[in-house]
Amino acid sequence: MWTTLGATLLGAFIATGTSLLVESRRDRRAAVAEWRQSRRELYGAFLSALTKARGELWTISRDDRLPNEERATAARAIFAGCYEQRYQLEVFAPSGVVTPALNYFRSVRRLRDAVGEGLRWDDAARTAHDDDVVQGLHATRDAMRVDMRTDAMRTE
C-alpha cells in the first residue's frame, strides 16, 4: 500500500514538475519573441525617421528659391521628429547598438546644420556629408543586425 501511494505521489510530482518546466520555457520563448519584435519596431522606426529626414534635407538643398532663414527653419523642422526615436533607442537598445546609432544621428544632424547654413545639392561639400551619413547608416544597421541575430537566421 505504501509503495503504491509513494509511486503515485512520485508520478504526480514528476508530472507537475515537467508541466512547470514546459510552461516556463514557453513563457520565456514568448517573452524573447515579444522583446525581439519590440526591438525590430524600434530599430525600424529609428532608421526610417533618420532616412526620411536625410531625404527631405537633400530635397530642400535643391530648392534655389528658398531663402536662407526659411531653409534653416525647414531643416530644423524636418529633423525634429528624430529626437523621439533617438531617446527611445538610447533607453531600450544595448550599448553595441546605441553607440553607432548616436553617431548616425549626429551625422544627420550635421547634415541638417549644413543644409540650414546653405549647403546645396550641387556643392562639392555635399559628397563628404553624404558619405558621413551613409557610413553612419551602415554601421548602425550592421549593429542592429548583430543584436537581432538576423544573419544567423536561416532563410528558406
Tell me: the pLDDT tens digits for 35-76?
A: 788 889 999 999 999 999 999 999 999 988 889 889 999 999
Contact 96, 142 (CB under 8 A): no
This model's pTM is above 0.75: yes
Residue 156 domain-assigned?
no
Residue 51 domain-assigned?
yes
Residue 18 domain-assigned?
no
**pLDDT value of position 36:** 80
Residue 54 domain-assigned?
yes
The total number of structural domains in the chain stands at 1
Residue 154 domain-assigned?
no
User: What mean pLDDT do residues 85-112 have?
Assistant: 96
Q: Report the 10 Å Cβ neighbour count for 152.
A: 8
Give the whole-angstrom CA distance, residue 54 versus residue 52. 5
Residue 125 domain-assigned?
yes
Residue 135 domain-assigned?
yes
- The Cα-based distances of 102 to 25, 106, 119, 140 in angstroms read 35, 6, 23, 9
Residue 12 domain-assigned?
no
| Domain containing residue 91 | 36-148
**pLDDT value of position 11:** 74
- The Cα-based distances of 50 to 22, 30, 104, 120, 125 in angstroms read 42, 30, 8, 19, 20
Question: Which CATH number fits the domain that encloses residue 130?
Answer: 1.20.120
